[in-house]
Amino acid sequence: MPHSCRCLAALLLLCNMGWAQAQGEAVVAASHPLAAEAGATILRQGGNAVDAAAAIQFALNVVEPQSSGIGGGAFLVIYLAKTHQTVVLDAREVAPAAASADQFVHQSFEESSVNGIAVGVPGTLAGFAEAERRWGKKTLAAVLQPAIALARQGFAVTPYLARELASPRAALQPETRALFRNAAGAPLREGDWLRQPDLAATFERIAAQGPAVFYRGEIARAIVEAQQRSTIGPDGVGRMTLADLAGYKVVQRAPLVGQYRHYTVVTMPPPSSGGVALLQALGVLEHFPLGRMDDFGAGALSATHVTIEALRLSMADRALWLGDPAATPIPLARLLDSHYLHQRVHAVDVDRRMPDTGPGFMPEGTHTTHFSVVDGEGNVVSCTSTVEDLWGSGILVPGYGFLLNNELTDFNRVPQAGTQNPGANDVRPGMRPRSSMTPTLVFRDGQWLMAYGSPGGPTIISSVLETTLDVLDDHLTGEAAVRLPRFAVLDSAGDTLIEPALPAGLVDALRARGHRLTLSPDPIGSVQMVGEDPVSHTRWGAADPRREGTVIRF
């Protein structure tokens, strides 16, 4: 949030949460200590930021399987220090060739999300293999080694994982019950030892044979068979084929680049909606004073109010225009045009909530992960990856130990094309569903300043925006920014989740202005940041305590 009331309110949050911050030449920030250590290990062995990011991702598949893994997808924003180039890799999941716009019409979200019909062709492995091939110093086999060791030797279940294991989604299939439940059938608890020998063997196969074994070999055959599982009959059977897996392609895209005050913000383009929404909101907020406030007075209220309204405007455009650019033309130039955004500024009433505009909220999985890395040479990776909902589809590929995503539920459940709507996010064969993932970099005068992002489904956009404002407008450290209580605007109607530590006086004042605020049942986001001081060139990192955020520097 763009005001100091959040700094004071953060003291309440700190009573229940720890924090991590570090400074140094190479810095890793990830949501789990063992994943952070995997990345640091590769850096110590001479790898660069791309190598470290791959090691982190594979380790997260082991220690945070509920959120990401090779059965899902990822977005990578990579800054190459030597050439001062920023590249984007889209390793988002893809709808099978047999997918149809109406495939979810007769199912509830709860039904479709735990059946094979929701499984998209996974892209994470292909994405990191491509990044390794083009920009890494190590081999794919080398960066898999920390994850192989973790999966084979096991690790102690952490508090965060223990909480997630209590979800019924962790035990929907015989394979997940066998892996994540004890002999008495109860969820594994904090401190219990979790070994994953099938996953270790899968990683060893990939290390030996490369991604081909996953996309064209024995693992591909196992994926196709597994996603045919359905608890609701033929309507729930997955439509992926071996040809879909063999045809998967990683896409290199041009990053979205925008200006905010004196800064350059580089972020993820469609099929992510997050980058567009972030730049739109910043383009509106640039017209308002958002400096730090010393109390909970009218200035702080106004700053929070206009931030919520700017996000609502972004979410309205998101719902109508954004999806896979290969599916329908996306008017990016217009959506980010300064004159258009200036018109949007005039829609904001500084004293009252705007009338409802645009579509309402669509369900979207919140259990994603984010990590950021900078190496000693100044190369940077900001990556958000996912299996969509908590524990993905709940389908663990038998004998191979990884979960399949339920990413296709991010498409429109009811087709919109032909209803005065372009249907940009309708299900289409070979297309990628709209995402909120927003891995982001910030520069000033050509110098890289920070890399960050967050998990959280539609809450990602708010978390990334608030972090951006906290650092760029309020001039907070990354450490202070990630600790602050958050809100999250879910849709253009302004349905907004708030964390309990948000000041009660501010909450009451926002409600008096008409805002629709609901206490979030879960912490909002988990921002992992790395950065560099523009004067001293000291590197720093900050890891969000909402999960088990860890910074390692050396």
C-alpha span between 278 and 298 (Å, rounded): 25
C-alpha span between 279 and 258 (Å, rounded): 6
- The answer to whether residues 219 and 225 touch, using CB atoms and an 8 Å cutoff, is no
C-alpha span between 72 and 260 (Å, rounded): 32
φ/ψ of 386, rounded to 5, equals -160, 160
- The answer to whether residues 363 and 433 touch, using CB atoms and an 8 Å cutoff, is no
Q: Which DSSP string do the residues of 132-181 spell out, in sequence order?
A: HHHH-SS-HHHHHHHHHHHHHH-EEPPHHHHHHHTSGGGGSSHHHHHHHB
Of the residues 41, 202, 307, 368, only one is catalytic, namely 368
- The answer to whether residues 427 and 101 touch, using CB atoms and an 8 Å cutoff, is yes
C-alpha separations of 513 from 302, 354, 466, 498 in Å:
10, 10, 20, 16
Which residue, 20, 5, 17, 26, is CA-closest to 553? 26
C-alpha span between 406 and 244 (Å, rounded): 16
C-alpha span between 507 and 311 (Å, rounded): 17
The β-bridge relationship of strands 85-91 and 251-253 is antiparallel
Q: Is the dihedral of CA 38, 40, 45, 48 positive or negative?
A: positive
List all residues 6 or more positions away from 339 whose beta carbon is below 8 Å from its beta carbon. Answer: none
Tell me the two tokens of residue 76. 């990578």
Kindly report the number of other CB atoms within 10 A of residue 197's CB atom.
12
Which residue carries 């499984």 as its tokens? 119
C-alpha separations of 486 from 123, 519, 524 in Å:
31, 11, 7
Which residue, 359, 502, 497, is CA-closest to 434? 359
Which residue, 34, 65, 35, 70, is CA-closest to 180? 65
**22-43 b/e (C-beta count within 10 Å ≥ 16 → b):** bebbbbbbbbbbbbbbbbbbbb
Residue 363's Cβ-side half-sphere holds a number of Cα atoms within 13 Å equal to 17
SS3 403: strand
368 is catalytic: yes
C-alpha separations of 289 from 94, 225, 286, 350, 461 in Å:
42, 56, 8, 12, 21
Q: Is the dihedral of CA 258, 264, 270, 271 positive or negative?
A: negative
List all residues 6 or more positions away from 500 whose beta carbon is below 8 Å from its beta carbon. Answer: 12, 485, 519
Kindly report the number of other CB atoms within 10 A of residue 321's CB atom.
22
Which residues are the active-site residues? 368
